[in-house]
Amino acid sequence: MPLAGDKNNLPHFRPDGTFRIMQFADIQDVAPVSPDSLALMAAALDAERPDLVVLTGDQIKGYAPAFRHKSPQELERLTRHTIEQMCAPMVSRGIPFVVTYGNHDRQCGLDNAAQEAIYHAQPGCLNENAWAELCPGTLCLPVLASDENSDEARLAIWLADSGAGDIGGGYEAFPAETLDWLTVTADRLATEENHPVPGILFQHIPLPQVYDCLRPARENEKGVPGYRTHYTPHLKLVCDEHYLESGTLREPVCCPDMDSGEFGALSQQGSVFGIFFGHDHKNTLVTHYRGMRLGYAPTAGFGSYGPSVERAARVFTFTENDPASFETHLLDYRTLVSAQAPHPLRDKLTSTTPVTAEEARETFRVPALVAGVAIATALACRLIHSITERR
């Protein structure tokens, strides 16, 4: 089976041998989409003019009350309207994009297959141009050589639906069938191209291996606690300098409880040189781990909690001759749009409120003399989370 059927519809490296990707994570909204989110997206696209945009899940705020008690027709119209608004910054600029899904998208009541059909209808969506036989949001999009007459794949853009919430709490392990598809398809691509094709994988939920890059916080450092099975009472974590490339850890790494073997299998297969994700809205950490780069994009949306004016897009620049040595940086709202938070009080509260039970326990472990303040703060946190419905 030839890759993607028609290589004429696949992107190429630029004539100067570069290719630029922009990642938008966790826009997490419902129509009308926040104008502040759209302003950030538009400004980032205009600043960098990427060759491809990757949407890495939780585009849809599926738990929002607006999706409740809707007829199937009303639900489809609202979801379509939301997706159209989110894609408008790319569509209006003629910038192609691909999309995968997070734990909140399907909560709107319209499954990922139905949402995929809406994305396919948006000009510039390349999901249909990729190998994508398994499920919506899991695909391989090759980037061809800069020579317009060449059909040689020089870089592979991988997307994977990393799963949803687990019925027992926390998050599902990375799906075994998805991992099998990724490794088999990478081998298949290498066979078709007569050489391994280096690739980068985008997914929504982070890998447990991020915890391997952390160490206990020192006395003068502000760390975060682990999540669920990764939690140790009173132990806060920060990135170990040995692994750190850039960014910060501002909230717990909310990954699956167990290691699915994703990192090990992809490392053994050997094509993927980096895995990037979202999900934890305030984290911007990028690490080097066992020959691979693991990293976050923070939320680009103002429809849910986030790091105030440090909401951002992540930019990747690849070179044709050595894609694995890519450069990456953030473009944030503060730099591109305004240093003033659009909603100062709400943004301040949601940027500082604990987002997991473990973080709340660490935050409110205080002496009895200030217990009243802690209780009042906890009540305020509950009120905020009744609005944001983060976890």
Q: How many CB atoms lie within 10 A of CB 94?
A: 8
| Res 346: pLDDT | 86
| CB neighbour class for 317 (10 Å; exposed up to 12, middle 13-18, buried from 19) | middle
pLDDT in tens, 69-124: 999 999 999 999 999 999 999 999 999 999 999 999 999 999 999 999 999 999 99
Residue 64 domain boundaries: 7-343
Tokens representing residue 196 in the block: 């391994």
Give the count of domains, the chain. 1
- Residues of the chain with pLDDT below 70 are 1-8, 167, 366-391
Q: Which residues pair with 29 in a beta bridge?
A: 60
| Res 58: pLDDT | 96
Asked if residue 307 belongs to a domain, the reply is yes
The Cα–Cα gap between 134 and 202 comes to 16
Asked if residue 375 belongs to a domain, the reply is no
- State the pTM of this model: 0.92
Asked if residue 369 belongs to a domain, the reply is no
Asked if residue 86 belongs to a domain, the reply is yes
Which amino acid does the sequence have at 69?
H
- Alpha carbon 236 to its chain centroid, in Å, reads 24
| Res 6: pLDDT | 56
pLDDT in tens, 240-264: 999 999 999 999 999 999 999 999 9
Asked if residue 391 belongs to a domain, the reply is no
The angle subtended at Cα 301 by Cα 295 and Cα 305, nearest 5°, is 85
The Cα–Cα gap between 130 and 149 comes to 19
Asked if residue 60 belongs to a domain, the reply is yes
Domain holding 248: CATH number? Answer: 3.60.21.10
Q: How many CB atoms lie within 10 A of CB 33?
A: 24
